[in-house]
Every structure is written in structure tokens, then in C-alpha cells.
Structure 1
Amino acid sequence: MTIQTFSFRSGRLASRIVSLFILVLLTGSAHGQTPAPAPVFPRVSGYQGILHPIVTLDKNGSETNFRHYYVVGFPIGLNLWKTKQLGFSVELVPVVRAQNGTSRVSNVVFHPGVLVGLGHDFTFAGRLAFETSGRYGITPVFSKIVKKGPTNSYFVAVPLPIRLGNGHAASFTAGFQFGIVF
């Protein structure tokens, strides 16, 4: 029994074969590609976003972000979809406030909630809200996937927080959020 070995001159042929193999793996074949499989449930996804509160209303009037201060939140969460129409989500939102030349983490929001798939990539999230500032309430959120990719998607959302407690007047805020789901 003889074993044959092959040698490649200067490794050029080997590097060409490896490069061609990687190219085929990354691009796939134009012919014979199968469509993406339907999602399997339950399904878990994570997301990261940037939240800008726009205006807050309470019995004392209105207050807008960007005027005398700047507030930005960084929502981080996990979604567990039981079916295409129903899921559970848990979110943490560190909130940073910049004012008078300084900035600090002014609040962290714990945001558990129910997800309802509305079709056409729209989702409603009904969230409870518990803030380290001592406030609490609910946050209805309407979101839409605006761009789907093979491994992640991009979304925009409108959160509408209602807050109570900690010796402050009840308040309603309208905000804008965008982010990535992976």
C-alpha cells in the first residue's frame, strides 16, 4: 500500500483553493439557494438601543430634552417569543443626564413586559417600569423593524412612559428610540 502526498509549489495553489472555498462559503451559490427557514418558537433575541426622551408633560407644564439639559438612555434587553404573536421581554435602561458641563448616570429603569406581534414587523410592548430614582409606572412602546438582515435587524420605536411616585407629580413622556436586534 502506498500513500501519495501532494506538494504545492510555494503554497500558491493551496491559498487559491482556500480563498475560493471561503468565497463560496461567504457568498453562497446563486443557483440552488434555499429560502431562510421559518423561525422556530420559542425564540430568544437580544437588542441594544439608544433612547431620546423628547418631551415630558405633568401638572406643572412641559419640559423638553435638549433645551436646558440632555438625557439619553441605553436600553439593553432580551425577548423571549413564545409564538409569533406573543412574548416576554426584560429590559434595563441606564439613563445619562448631561447638564451644566457635567454628566452622570441619573437613573436605571427595570422594564419587564409583554410583547404582542402586530404583523408587518410592528410590535407592541406593554412594560412595567421600576426606576432607581423611586418612580414607577408603565411604558407602552410601539416599534417597527425597518431593515432586516441575515443576522440582525434594525428598529425604531416610540416609547410613551407614564410615571408616578417619589413625591413628584404624575408625568407622561414621549420619546424616540432606535436600535439593533440580534
Structure 2
Amino acid sequence: MILISICFILDGYAQENPTTFPKITGYVGILHPIATLNNDGLHTNFTDYYVVGMPTGINIWKTEKIGFSFEIVPFIRTENGLSRANNILIHPGILLKLKHGFTLVNRIAFETSGRYGFTPILNKVIKKNKHSNYFIAMPLPVRFGNNNPASATVAFQFGIGF
């Protein structure tokens, strides 16, 4: 009788609860623009100035494969020994899970600097824990407006999801 009880108890621990949807997750990260190309030429971060962003967002997964994300990114710019918060990005988008643990995020962009555009992002979880995960991402922001030339940027992002 004791052996049968132990088997039922162990069997209960072996089963995983299925994920229910919608599922809400959040994340924070650090974003480093690497290089920006526009008709004025190629401009690189880390040379004459340094820009860093701190993305914070909420993901609402509708199903295992598709979801909605809302992100806000304040940016700090350091140049000539002075630093300042110079821009805030409002960044809603659609999440699409791909094969091999990748996620494609397609965002629209509204910046307080007056710029707007879109940002495709390729994201990959590199370490998954019980209550969090670490990820890397490659955003490719494309921006227009505010009397500036159209631009395309390559960036690197690292973050933690929970």
C-alpha cells in the first residue's frame, strides 16, 4: 500500500502543468547602438560620443507562437564630458516565435526626439532558469522625420526576462 502511494506521489511531481494563455512576461535590458548609416555617412557609437538605452517591457503572449509587446526605452548620451537623458522611445510590437529558440519582434517606433519608424529585432534566449532567462537581441532600427535624414542602425541588446 505504501509503495502504491509513493508511485502516485512521484507521478504527480513528474507531470508539468501546461502553460495557459494569455501569458504575461516582462524584461529589462541594456541596449548599445553600434553604427548608424544615413546620407551623411556612417556614425559609430563609442567614438565621439556614447549612447546607451535601457529597455523595459511587457510581453503578452496570446498563444505559444504569437504575442504583443510594449516597450519603453530611455536613452542616455555622453559627449564631451557631459551626459544627459536625450530621448525616450515608445516601442509597441508583435512577437513571433521562430524555430531553434529565436523570436522575431516587429516594432513601430515613436521617439520624443520627433523621430519615428520601425525596428525589426531578432532575439534569442541564451540561458533559461526556473523564474527568469537571459537573452541577447539584435535590433535594426530604421528612423525618419524631425528634419533629419532617414537612418538605419545596427544595435546589440542584452537583458533578463522574468
2:87 is the alignment partner of 1:102: no
Cα distance per residue 1:23-56 (max 9 Å; x no partner) = xxxxxxxx94425433221100000000000000
Distance 2:62 2:140 in 1: 25
- SS in structure 1 at match of 2:156: strand
- For 1:40, the equivalent position in structure 2 comes to 20
Distance 1:150 1:103 in 2: 38
2:51 is the alignment partner of 1:93: no
Structure 1 residues 156 and 35: CA distance shift in structure 2, 3 A: farther
> Counterpart of 1:118 in structure 2: which amino acid?
L
> Counterpart of 1:120 in structure 2: which amino acid?
H
Compute the TM-score of the two structures, normalised by the length of structure 1.
Answer: 0.81
Which residue of the other structure, out of 133, 136, 146, is the alignment partner of 1:153?
133
Shift of 1:96: 0.4
- For 2:99, the equivalent position in structure 1 comes to 119
> Counterpart of 2:93 in structure 1: which amino acid?
G
- For 2:53, the equivalent position in structure 1 comes to 73
Cα distance per residue 1:60-107 (max 9 Å; x no partner) = 110000000110000000000000111000000000001111111010
- For 2:44, the equivalent position in structure 1 comes to 64
Q: Comparing both structures, which one devotes a greater share of its residues to strand?
A: 2
Compute the TM-score of the two structures, normalised by the length of structure 2.
Answer: 0.91
> Counterpart of 2:81 in structure 1: which amino acid?
G
Distance 1:107 1:36 in 2: 44
Shift >3 Å, 4+ stretches? none
2:124 is the alignment partner of 1:144: yes
Distance 1:40 1:146 in 2: 23
- For 1:50, the equivalent position in structure 2 comes to 30
What runs of 5+ residues in structure 1 fail to find an aligned partner?
1-30
Q: Between Structure 1 and Structure 2, whose CA radius of gyration is higher? A: 1
- For 2:114, the equivalent position in structure 1 comes to 134
Q: Which has the higher contact order (CA 8 A, sep 6+)?
A: 2
Which residue of the other structure, out of 148, 152, 161, is the alignment partner of 1:172?
152
Q: CA RMSD, aligned part only?
A: 1.2
Shift of 1:167: 0.1
Distance 2:45 2:18 in 1: 41
